[in-house]
Structures are given as structure tokens and as C-alpha cells.
Structure 1
Amino acid sequence: MDTKPWEKYLGADDRAVLERGRFARRMGFGIRPAVVVIDAQRYMVGEEGNDQNWPSSCGAIGRSALKQIQRVVEQAQKSEVPCFFTTFELDSNGGDIGVYGRKRDLLDSDHWCLAGTVGAELVPELRPGKNDIAFVKKKPSGFHGTPLLGYLIDRKIDTVVVVGGATSNCIRATVFDSSSYNFRTIVPHEAVFDRIAVSHAISLFDMDRQFADVVSVADLLSYLRECDGK
């Protein structure tokens, strides 16, 4: 049985609200999927035994999810399902940080997300294939100010699978935008990650309640295998 991360946070009153409102129906998989890998970068997953030097690292949680992201990407590439890799990068002078700079200091560190630093690099475990595209984003959503929507329309995509991090920030923003554009939106919960457990769980709950299907990696992989050669 696939136990969802948010189950332990719900009480009887919460469950009654869900039942009364008929929330969390399944939208299901479509016929033309794409995988969107959000910010699977070095600064996000840090380094085993050295996370203290990576100021935004999600630590072991991120590295565990990365293994599941690899499985998803590898199967997608094998099945010729396109993958889109985003990286979040900021100029070292802070000129493009925008309102985010009112909430957080610009960190002068090669282990953060500054453009041209090791921290901003895509993790070495993931490599775009011949059907894949990588691009930089400057805001939480993979859609905001990027060519992603055009890429999806051009490929006649109807199902967007979102993996990466962080669940409560860039994953959530991307999922909401994907749903707003009327894509079937799928989130494999073992393949997304966050720094704070409760943020991860409740963000997944909110997405599953109205905007996406939160599924297991196992179920997603079965679907992607069926797409092979389509």
C-alpha cells in the first residue's frame, strides 16, 4: 500500500471536509507525457558528510529523492518521453533576484545558486538526452518567463510529470501553473523533496487535493513503460 506523506497530519474533521467536498478525485494519466525536472542542482542536494558548506542543501532527503528522480528520467528517456530540466540561477550581483531578495540575503557562495558556480550546476547523475531540453529559470515556477509552455504545446503534451525540489516552493509553483494551463499534472511523491518535512507533506496534500495526482514512483514507471514507442 502506498502511504501518502500527509496522512499522519489529518484528523477526523479534515477527512470529513474532504469527503463532503469530494476532493482529490483522480485525473489519471494522459497519452502524451513529458517530465519536468525542477532544480535538481548541486546546491539543492549538497554533499554527503559536508552539508554544512551547502547553505540551501536539502541533505540526505534530497539525495534519496535524487535516486528516484534518476529512475524516472532513465525510464522516460528509454521510452522517448521528453524531459525538461530547469536550473535556478541568480547573477552574483543580485540584479535579477527581485522580490526574493526581500526575504533572503544574496549568498556569496560557490555552493549556492549563483550563475557560473558549481552550486548552480545540474547534478552529475542527471544528463539531458537527445529528446530533452535544459533551460534556466529565475522564479519558482518552471513556466514563469521560460519557453516551457511552448515546448509542451509543440510536442502535443497532455500530461506533465513534475519531479525535483523543493516541494513547497518550485514544485508547488510549477504544479499550480501546469494545472492552470489544463495539463494533467502528476507528482511522484518519492521523487520530490524539501528541507522541512511538514512543508513537504502538506504541499503534497494541497496539490493532490485539487491540482495534481500525487502517485508512487512505481505507478509512474509502469505508465512510462507503456509509453515506450508511442
Structure 2
Amino acid sequence: MERPWDHFLTEQDRAVLAKGRFGRRMGFGRRPAVLVIDAQRYMVGAEGQDHLFPSSCGAIGRAALAAAATIVRAAQAAGVPCVFTRFALDPSGADIGVYGRKRDLLESPNWCLEGTHGAELAEGMAPGPNDLVLVKKKPSAFHGTPVLGHLLDRGVDSVIVLGGATSNCVQATVFDASSFNLRVCVPQEAVFDRIPISHAIALFDMDRQFADVVPMAEVLDFLGGLRDGGAR
């Protein structure tokens, strides 16, 4: 499968990667969890209405979330814990922090303001009874949340990270997960961004040092093995 960053690399870049032996596969762990990052309505808009959603990633986002939903269902069938994050801000802006210096507080029901349509999980995101849904205020799913304790309590050694945006909250979560010595997998088709070059380079940087960016089919095969009792 062609990788989104391949056509950005020069021969000199490839030589640097080969010399430093970057990008080796870490492989799947034995006890994974799925982290679904900000799979919310404000992130993916709605068909024919993207102009009403100031942060919508559009059709690309909707296609990626359909892939993410397939992975979530496979994980739930295998008994793999899933964590769904929602990025949601107080409508007053009281908790936006330094982000408010880079981005206006958008007074829209289709942005990520708590209590609005935009802040809800997107269509197709269906947490199970044993899954965790939580609100975060910063890019990483680990910052200021109980996610790490939740994973440790379940003996998790690896995470499969889905959702968006690739260059923002997904990448921040991947870096933190790796810092906690969790193996990290990112299914290429199940993450998304607003700007193609941001998406491609973020995936490249993650795959180079902190995660395995792999085709979705590999993840589904792995989860199918867990469901059938062959990989634990």
C-alpha cells in the first residue's frame, strides 16, 4: 500500500532514513486497547453542509470515521477495551487556555462547545457498555484525563489510535503513548486531517520513530485473531 508521505521524500531523505535505521516495526502487543480520538460531529461535518462546520474535515473525515467504526466493532467483538475522547470546551471560553491565543472561540453549535451538536460523537461511533467515553481539554488523550490509569488497570501494553486530526490530537496522543512505553499502531485509513500535507507528514513522523502506521487490513486481521483466541 502506498504511504501518504512517499512522494514527499527525496533520495537524500531516503538515504538519511536508511543510515539511521528509522522506521523499524514494533509490532502489535498482546493486550491492546483502541483510542478513538475526537470522532465528533464538528470534526466531520455533514454531507452538503460542511460550510456550516468551521472545523470540518469533510468527506475525507467521514470516510476515515467509517473505517474507524469498522475497527471499533472488531475490537469490541474481540473484547478489546475502547476509549472514546471528546474535545469539548466551555462556551464561555474559560477552559480554552493558551489555545485561545491561536484560535478564536467559535460561537457555533457546530464547533466543539460542550452541550452543542458539534461536540457530540459522530454518527457510527457506538461505545459499548465496557468502553470509556471522556472529555479532554488538550490535544493528547492522556493529558489531564484518567486514560493511563484506565489502561494500566486492564493490563494494556499497546494502543491502536484512530480519529483526528492526524497532525494535532492523534499525533499528540501517539507521542504520549510512546512516552509511556506503550506500543502504538495507527491504521492509515482510519485517521484524517484537514490539510493533506499535514496528514502525510504527521504519519511519516509517527511511523519514523513512535508508531507503526499500517494498512487497516492488518489491524482487522490482528483483532480477528484475538477474537478467535489465537493471539493472546
> Which TM-score tier does this pair reach, normalised by the shorter chain?
over 0.9
Is 1:177 equivalent to 2:176 in the alignment? Answer: yes
Is 1:160 equivalent to 2:159 in the alignment? Answer: yes
Alpha-carbon shift at residue 124 of structure 1 (Å): 2.5
Alpha-carbon shift at residue 174 of structure 1 (Å): 0.1
Partner residue in 2 for 1:131? 130
Distance in 2 (CA, whole Å) between partners of 1:82 and 1:124 is 20
Partner residue in 2 for 1:211? 210
Contact 1:81 1:131 in 2 (8 A): no
* Unpaired stretches in structure 2, ≥5 consecutive residues: none
SS at match of 1:122: coil
Partner residue in 1 for 2:60? 61
Aligned letter for 2:91?
A: S
Partner residue in 2 for 1:7? 6
Is 1:27 equivalent to 2:26 in the alignment? Answer: yes
CA distances 1:98-138 after superposition (whole Å, capped 9, x unpaired)? 00000010000000000000000001211110221100000
Alpha-carbon shift at residue 15 of structure 1 (Å): 0.1
CA distances 1:74-95 after superposition (whole Å, capped 9, x unpaired)? 1001111010000000000000
Is 1:85 equivalent to 2:87 in the alignment? Answer: no
Distance in 2 (CA, whole Å) between partners of 1:98 and 1:64 is 31
Is 1:74 equivalent to 2:78 in the alignment? Answer: no
Give the share of equivalent positions with the same residue, in percent: 64
Alpha-carbon shift at residue 172 of structure 1 (Å): 0.3
* Unpaired stretches in structure 1, ≥5 consecutive residues: none
Distance in 1 (CA, whole Å) between partners of 2:182 and 2:111 is 32
Distance in 1 (CA, whole Å) between partners of 2:125 and 2:95 is 26
Partner residue in 2 for 1:38? 37
Contact 1:141 1:170 in 2 (8 A): yes
Distance in 2 (CA, whole Å) between partners of 1:105 and 1:48 is 25
Alignment TM-score, normalising by the size of structure 2: 0.98
Aligned letter for 1:167?
A: T
Distance in 2 (CA, whole Å) between partners of 1:226 and 1:137 is 32
Distance in 2 (CA, whole Å) between partners of 1:4 and 1:34 is 24
Distance in 2 (CA, whole Å) between partners of 1:125 and 1:223 is 22
Distance in 2 (CA, whole Å) between partners of 1:47 and 1:219 is 29
Aligned letter for 2:143?
A: H
CA distances 1:128-169 after superposition (whole Å, capped 9, x unpaired)? 102211000000000000000001100000110000000000
Contact 1:58 1:195 in 2 (8 A): yes
Aligned residues: 229
Distance in 2 (CA, whole Å) between partners of 1:92 and 1:43 is 14
Distance in 2 (CA, whole Å) between partners of 1:211 and 1:54 is 32
Distance in 1 (CA, whole Å) between partners of 2:22 and 2:30 is 24
Distance in 1 (CA, whole Å) between partners of 2:191 and 2:213 is 11
Distance in 2 (CA, whole Å) between partners of 1:131 and 1:12 is 48
Aligned letter for 1:74?
A: R
Matches within 5 A, 1:83-122: 83-122=82-121
Alignment TM-score, normalising by the size of structure 1: 0.98
Distance in 2 (CA, whole Å) between partners of 1:113 and 1:72 is 24
Distance in 2 (CA, whole Å) between partners of 1:222 and 1:72 is 10
Contact 1:142 1:170 in 2 (8 A): yes
